[in-house]
Copies of this chain bind each other. A is one copy, B any other.
Amino acid sequence: MLKLNDTAHKILDVAEFYTQTKGFNAFSYKDIQNDVGIKTSSIHYYFPTKKELALSMTARYVDNFHAKLLEIRDLYPSGIEQIVQMAEVYIDVVKQNKFCMCGMLASELTSICDASVAKLIYFFETVQSWVEEAITLGQHQKAIKQNVSAKAFAISFVSVIEGAMLIARTKGEPNHLITVINNTINDLKI
């Protein structure tokens, strides 16, 4: 992975913001120019093409998100509390009228390169594995029903969060996401 300096990070911050709010195809180098305060040509100095910008942006997002999940695992010993905290991260995203960056790029699949798509797949699988481990931990702790398949739950949980974010943002109601998450988590508890 390339080491990014301050300017490169600012460019990615702006690109990430627009990707999560409007979509990758809905912003241009001019938007970045206006927000970062460097010329469009200078953006090419850091990211030769828009597809390469997408790849760097995705890599950084996926790494940061994974770090956040590991931090939650460190901070909360309860498996079910880990799930709740992870859900909180997604709820915050919708409260900012944003969509998951990986969900957004997943919808715009054909506009990014194969390496970026691979990152998206890795993202969904990583989150899924993390959820599965949290559930399994909760079952050892006898806080989560023993009869649910941790794996099956994890697969569905990631999907339900992505879908509920999309719908919640459309309605302009973070409560939609909150309701779906609460229903799903309550089904889990003993």
Contacts and interface: CB of A to CB of B under 8 A. Distances in A.
Interface of A: 21-23, 25-26, 99, 103-104, 106-111, 117, 120-121, 124, 149, 152, 155-156, 158-164, 166-167, 169-171, 176, 179-180, 183-184
Contacts of A176: 155
Contacts of A158: 163, 167
The 5 closest A-B pairs by CB, nearest first: A163-B163, A162-B163, A159-B163, A25-B25, A159-B164
B170 A106 contact: yes
Copies in the complex: 2
A109 B158 CA distance: 22
Given A23-B25, A25-B25, A26-B110, A103 B156 contact: no
A156 B169 contact: no
Contacts of A104: 107
B106 A169 contact: yes
